[in-house]
């Protein structure tokens, strides 16, 4: 077994797709498949279930996944310690964030990081910010950028970057009778308005609390993944939504949206970097973490 085999395993475990994993590893699908079979022969068990359509981790594969990630991290750390130029970091760091985070915060951070540490390879994945902490806890990413939850899980570190208000948004024009273009004044009005909300996460918890405090039973029209999708649906007149201001500021559909004056306001997003505290022992993670000045 060698570190390259572990990297190939990790790529397939993360993507669960031979085509995407082979592209990520810069090898052919047949070479990747051959390397995975060789790794399974060495450990003596099947790490993946695969057929013509799907790839999934076996129970043994899930156990091996933690070992592979820990070993890969240890390899990067010891390679840095043993290098002839310890001031020049080399290795790989994985980041996760929403599309909005990618061009509102990460663009500037990555530009500075690349100039300061050209020897570090950066892997960036985008997705629903509500899954950010889960990606940290299961070890699939080194650092994520997302909103701070009300309670951080044990062993997780957070460094703030910015504050973004949570806004109630509506379409500019009333396209559906039950979707108003002004803020409802009566709880009974709210109960009849179709709401477009996140499936889960920080914003959903705060919206649910807001409705509960006002004794309102909301009419949920749609529960979606990703704040960008909420802006799209609201712009089409399907309902009223709730998104962080930073998402609206960076949306190409902002001119089709208006912000409702809803009181009391929702608690704002505290956006920042999130990682496991133990990850900060990794010089590359620490270097990226230190791009943000402590507040």
Which of residues 40, 61, 82 is at a domain's end? 82
What number of helices (H) and strands (E) belong to the chain?
12, 12
What percentage of the chain carries pLDDT values higher than 90?
A: 42
Residues 21 and 148 in one domain: no
- The reply to whether 180 and 146 lie within a common domain is no
Do 130 and 275 have their domain in common? yes
CA distance 268 to 48: 42
Write down the pTM of the prediction: 0.72
Domain housing 16: 1-82
Read off the CATH number of the domain in which 104 is found.
3.40.190.10
Helix or strand run (H / E) with residue 271: strand 269-276
One domain, residues 154 and 233 = no
For 70-109, the pLDDT digits (tens) are 888 788 777 766 765 656 777 788 899 888 888 788 888 8
Helices (H), the chain: 3-15, 18-25, 29-43, 59-82, 99-101, 107-116, 132-137, 187-191, 202-213, 227-235, 245-249, 283-289
Look at residue 178 and tell me whether its pLDDT is greater than 60: yes
């Amino acid at each position: 077994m060698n570190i390259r085999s572990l990297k190939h395993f990790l790529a397939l475990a993360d993507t669960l797709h031979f085509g995407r994993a082979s592209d990520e590893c810069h090898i052919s699908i047949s070479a990747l498949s051959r390397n995975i079979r060789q790794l399974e022969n060495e450990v003596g068990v099947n790490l993946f279930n695969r057929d013509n359509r799907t790839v999934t981790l076996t129970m043994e594969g899930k156990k091996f996944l933690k070992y592979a990630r820990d070993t890969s991290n240890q390899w990067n750390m010891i390679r840095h310690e043993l290098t002839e130029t310890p001031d020049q970091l080399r290795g790989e760091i994985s980041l996760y964030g929403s599309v909005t985070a990618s061009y509102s915060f990460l663009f500037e951070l990555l530009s500075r990081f690349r100039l300061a540490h050209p020897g570090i390879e950066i892997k960036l994945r985008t997705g629903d910010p509500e899954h950010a902490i889960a990606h940290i806890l299961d070890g699939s990413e080194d650092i994520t950028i997302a909103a701070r939850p009300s309670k951080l899980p044990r062993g997780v570190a957070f460094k703030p970057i910015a504050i973004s208000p949570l806004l109630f948004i509506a379409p500019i024009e009333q396209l559906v009778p039950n979707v108003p273009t002004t803020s409802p004044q009566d709880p009974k009005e709210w109960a009849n308005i179709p709401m477009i909300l996140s499936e889960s996460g920080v914003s959903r918890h705060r919206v649910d609390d807001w409705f509960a405090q006002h004794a309102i039973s909301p009419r949920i029209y749609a529960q979606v993944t990703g704040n960008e999708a909420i802006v799209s649906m609201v712009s089409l007149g399907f309902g009223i939504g709730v998104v962080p201001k930073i998402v609206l500021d960076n949306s190409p559909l902002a001119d089709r949206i208006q912000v409702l004056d809803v009181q009391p306001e929702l608690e704002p997003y505290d956006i920042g970097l999130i990682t496991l505290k133990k990850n900060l022992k990794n010089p590359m993670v620490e270097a990226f973490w230190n791009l943000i000045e402590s507040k």
